[in-house]
Structure 1
């Protein structure tokens, strides 16, 4: 029994020893694996920290948020670049003039929102652009200024340290230029009416005008300049800018740049769209709906009028159809009369060309080819030896008649009575002639016979008168002779 107890204690001691031994081995292995798994960055040297001053009044790129911290598009861009390329930033908001002076003195390392200009390259080195901005003239709503040339002699207000302060002063621009502390003050003073124009880029102006409730100024004309917005360092730090450029390339490829852009610019775009939609609703859709409502009410009131008017129109159409049918029948009757009447009828244009005629005229002129006759003039058939017929615009609007000696198409000579009337337009110009031709050849022959007989009778009468005179003369001579005879007889009787 004692032997068994000793063996049990020995076995327990062995188990306890091996448990402690294996526990220590496992602990050593765990520590080793933990050290191996540690990131090299933990074991590496601490990351460099760069001093980055942000413009406290340049939204949405850089500004001081309600907590007093720096925020904005450029701040997030520089932070993202640091995460990708291995540096940290200590960013604080300051007035822009202090930022620019500190970077010039190399008191700080970075500025995140500096417009590239060749005149600045002697003090600063610039990254590739992180965005591009358009600068506009902002003027009062009632101003007609829309170009830089129109600002000569005018009052211009600019923000201190802005690129356009440097440009206009460097060019000695001939205008009254006032410099204020920042862009917010610039826009506020322009809105009070004391200045003719301000020069500022549109995104910053839009944010500040919305924040200040400024609504009486506007961007005018086309953009006067388009400048690249870059991250800037002191002229002595090109290596830092190379690192910045590498980071810009990385965040552009991995999508972080787009995420930051959407964060800062999409809300503004949505607000602009929302404002635009509200304006469309109130100024376009609402009036249209009101007009539609008025139209519906007016339409209902018109329905009764339309119903009544429709009935009247149907009656009017029925009456008009009756009139048109009557006119159609009248026209057919007129055409029938025109074509079948035995009198030769015609219509001529102002030059005497045939426009229309009936078969009786063709028969009179002995020309049975209608198409050929339409190519001819009436006076082609009138003999030159007779009085010609050449009417003109001076003829009054009345009926005329002429006797014409006509040679028919077959060569026969006939006489015709030409009766016609000119039809004129409102200006007194003859449009056409309506007329008729009546064959008077037999009458003319009878008249010629009568004239000849009359001439014969006149000759006979004159001969009778001459014989009567001769008889009277002979009678007188006979009477004288008789008296002489009687005298002689008386003498002899005595």
Structure 2
């Protein structure tokens, strides 16, 4: 069985795999046997380091080299074919091959295949945008569009949990989609996922979770062919341990220091760093303690003052909301009662039908008003908080399918002091692009300091908004279900004194400008 790579060298050694394939395959691999009938094997052609195409298009990897060793031990020819994974599964089930390699066991596959003994452990993990918190397991993916390799056993498990899956033909295609911004969350086997993230140069843009699915790689044959399973297992068992060790060194490399040496070096390094840090802290503590305490007290008092002011404004807005909502409901109920009375005195003729239609319209109006009140009821009920704008924006758009839009975010770790419903503001603006942007292909979120405060701009390159509609889109109206979302967005921002206007040019795109007053924004250190 192939040993799992040492954790400390995992990432570096996977990136080196493609280079090693080109530089050592000619010297270290066993030559293929002569042409002739033999065993036909199919495997994934995009699954490093086990099977993938090198720079010359040749199929290389651990699994390929293992079959060459199997040929040498058994004297039987092996014809290896590398395909996209879903194509490999389909053609194996059609009977075109004797064996399928790099396959996980599942109950569904167990009904059509007999499996050999496993030869390595592989974990599937969730990769997600580094600015996107809260991803911890499969249950945390609800509401996200999750990328996956078409044909992987993980696809079915995700779909059974009701998770939206966007399938791609290969691991490389999944990572390329993540690089292009089509997806912010995807699930792959860890070795291949880490390899392609490094190859595409975006390893710093993504984090990955603890293993969500643990599996083992097998070879499998058509159900009922136990003799072939035994033959395959015995052939691999006959390969000398030294040959397996050579493959480990070829594909995983040789560590510079043994684990015990690394632990000792790490221990002394940590001790040295702790001593240095302790000396630095003792040297500065007395000078900084008074200044730090004074600044903390000042910030606390400032936060409390802002919270009190925001809560007072929210109370006034809630009083206004209660008044107009009650008045609207009262008028609607009165109208409905009148039509009901008229209906009682008339037969079921055309007028009666007309009255019934009026009743339905009034009920629809009441429903819309109740929905408005529901959306607005949490506004101002909790004190404002400092929020990372980039993270809040990414969380908001993660509930939408923004694959067709290129996005640019330049915020320099900006935080603003706003109502906890800030996420709904960005969700409303993003929905506006999808619903009304028409020709939009990109969106951007940027900021700039001015004398009046910080200008936060969300814009797209779509159809834009006519001049006559620039202020009307923020009005509270129910006709045609327009304006309500932007009305709420403006009200949410106004809790902490932030204004919202639209200054784009029709035909060139919408441009929503949020002016954040001094003291309501800050730029945090990256650490």
User: Fold match, TM over 0.5?
Assistant: no
Higher CA-based Rg: 1
Smaller-chain TM-score bracket: 0.3 to 0.5
**What is the TM-score when the length of structure 1 is the normalising length?**
0.44
Task: Considering Cα pairs closer than 8 Å and 6+ residues apart, tell me whether 1 or 2 has the greater RCO.
Answer: 2
**What is the TM-score when the length of structure 2 is the normalising length?**
0.41
